[in-house]
Amino acid sequence: MKIVATIARYLLGVIFLFFGSNLLFHFLPNPPLPPGPMANFSTAMAESHYTILVGFFQAAPAILLLINRYVPLALTVLAAEIVNIIVFHITMAPSGLPMALVVSILWLLVFLRVKGAFTGIFEPTPQH
């Protein structure tokens, strides 16, 4: 399980570093957007520069995963990103859902390796 989690951590890190960096530096061409909610959403994200924050919050935890430091923190930040990615693909671009599910599985494999770091947040009342 340790080897599987390590491979998953590297894959997750590479995926989010690549796509997060693309949001920051725009090295991949943008495909034409179909009219409708996806185009409106993407335009609003780009014009408000919100994509810069999204790119940062993908790239920064990806680096942490790749260097194997603060992995629980990186997973926490990426969990929010992954939820948004899944919701985006469910509601506006279903063709990307398989890759979103692969990323979710990779996240889960890494999470299972460090789940002990999360035990405190799953307690119904705080320990004093």
Choose between 121 and 59: higher pLDDT.
59
In degrees, to the nearest 5, what angle opens at C-alpha 80 toward C-alphas 77 and 83? Answer: 145
pLDDT value at 128 more than 70 = no
Question: Sorting pLDDT into bands at 50, 70 and 90, what band is 120?
Answer: confident
Are 75 and 111 a contacting pair, CB within 8 Å?
yes
pLDDT value at 74 more than 80 = yes
pTM of the model: 0.92
Read off the DSSP letter of residue 119. Answer: G
Cβ-proximal residues to 117 (8 Å cutoff; 6+ apart), any chain: 71, 72
Mean pLDDT of 68-73: 98
Q: What is the pLDDT of residue 125?
A: 81
Query: Half-sphere exposure (CA, 13 Å, Cβ side) for 79?
Result: 11
